[in-house]
Every structure is written in C-alpha cells, then in structure tokens.
C-alpha cells in the first residue's frame, strides 16, 4: 500500500501558524512535534515525509492535523512521548495506515481509566499508555463531538464542537476554518466586529444568522 503526503486537492493545507490557531496550541510546540515526530519518527514505510514546504512555511494535510490534536492532548495528560511514538508505530502497522489516530476504527477502541488510556480489541488491551494527569472521558467523546468520519477516516473538524458553525473541511478553502455551508472565513466577520460593526449589520450583510456571527467572533477571539 502506498501513501504520499504532498499538496493534494481535498486533503487540506495547514501551516504551523494555522494549526496553532485551530488547535489553540503554541506555534513552537506544533513545529517541534511535526519536525521531531511526524517527519522524524513516523516517516518511513508508508510516508516519506508527512510535511512539505509551501510559501516558505511548513505544512501538513488534514489527517496530520487530526493526529496532532490527539497526540498533544495525550502529552498534556502526561503520557511520555516515547510511549506515544511506539503506540503510533504499532497502530500504523496493525491498521496498515499512516494516520491511525485519524481513523474511526482506531478511536472506537480507545478507553480511559484514571490516568491511563488504552486501546482495546476484542476486550483485550493491545496498547496501554499511562499519564501523570487524570484522563477524563472527554478525551474520547471529543472525537465524536468535533470530528465527522466518512469511510472510517476523519472528514471534517469542528474546532468549537458540532453545535457551533465553524468547520475545517479540507474540500473547502483548502481546509481553512469557514462558517459551515459558506466560504466565509471567521476572520472576515471578526475584523468587522473589531472595527465597530454591529452583529446584526454583519449578519444581514453576509446573509448569516446572529448565532453564526457570534460563533465566528468566539472562534477568533479565543485564538487572539
């Protein structure tokens, strides 16, 4: 099975700055993880390099964005990176896929108990990871609250949750966050709001609801 990571229509293009904004993670942390782990430890049999350079910025596709979110949440819970690297490599081999943490069939196998997260198959633990902090059930439900899957692979990410209108869809605007059902960037709405425009005026001007305008403002203000 051959996989390549490069600029492909419908796969999304995310620079480190954009990932930092979407996942609310410091730029340096995203840069380090991509360089040390995805391009340094995970590249090999299925993917030579997970990232590429575009306009002098390093970028990855949508599936790596999803994996980064999971990886960062686990390291924040105190799971050692060495264990995560081993787990990722084992999952790559077991599922014959370079993005196992973006697969529904993998994430359905994730369980948590106290400071421990583990992957189960047929009620048997196949991988166990111990952290230093409590790992709540929110870690697992996150994948169903914020991610849409199609044919087992992540298709869309809803950074604020599916009950909000901000979505990262790699088939639209190269995957950059937009207001769902439109090609309007949240930044466009936020800039108008910061410049003193009223929410109702913005909503009427762009044929949006007040709630959509408020969601766009919330998304951008949280990243500010």
pLDDT of 95 > 80? The answer is yes
The pLDDT tens digits of the residues spanning 208-224 come to 999 999 999 999 998 75
pLDDT-based confidence at residue 133 (cuts at 50, 70, 90)? confident
Q: Are residues 219 and 177 in contact, defined by beta-carbon separation less than 8 angstroms?
A: yes
Whether the predicted pLDDT of 186 surpasses 90: yes
- pLDDT > 50? residue 101: yes
Distances 165 to 142, 152, 179, 208, 219 between C-alpha atoms, Å: 16, 23, 6, 11, 10
Please state the rounded mean pLDDT for residues 57-69.
94
Q: What is the pLDDT of residues 20-44, one digit of tens each?
A: 999 999 999 999 999 999 999 998 7
The per-residue pLDDT for 64 is 96
What per-residue confidence (pLDDT) applies to 151? 94
What is the b/e burial string over 2-36, where b = at least 16 CB atoms within 10 angstroms of the residue's CB?
A: eeebeeeeebbbbbbebbbbbbebeeebbbebbee
Cα–Cα distance for residue pair 174/14, rounded to 1 Å: 8
User: How confident is the model at residue 67, as a pLDDT?
Assistant: 95
């Amino acid at each position: 099975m051959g996989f390549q990571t490069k600029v492909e229509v419908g796969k999304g293009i995310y620079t480190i700055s954009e990932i930092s904004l979407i996942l609310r993670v410091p730029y340096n942390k995203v840069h380090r993880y991509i360089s040390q782990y995805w391009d340094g430890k995970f590249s090999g049999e299925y993917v030579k390099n997970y990232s590429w350079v575009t306009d002098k910025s390093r970028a990855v596709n949508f599936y790596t964005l999803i994996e980064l979110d999971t990886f960062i949440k686990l390291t924040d819970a105190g799971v050692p990176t060495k264990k995560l690297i081993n787990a990722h490599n084992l999952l790559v081999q077991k599922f014959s896929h370079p993005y196992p943490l973006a697969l529904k069939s993998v994430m359905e196998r994730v369980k948590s108990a106290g400071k421990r997260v583990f992957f189960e198959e047929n009620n048997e633990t196949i991988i166990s990871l111990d952290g230093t902090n409590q790992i709540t059930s929110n870690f697992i439900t996150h994948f169903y609250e914020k991610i849409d899957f199609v044919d087992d692979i992540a298709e869309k990410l809803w950074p604020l949750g599916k009950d909000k209108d901000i979505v990262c869809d790699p088939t639209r605007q190269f995957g950059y966050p937009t207001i769902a059902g439109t090609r309007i960037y949240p930044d466009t709405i936020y800039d108008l709001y910061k410049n003193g425009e009223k929410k109702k005026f913005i909503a009427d001007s762009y044929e949006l609801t007040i709630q959509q305008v408020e969601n766009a403002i919330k998304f951008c203000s949280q990243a500010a």
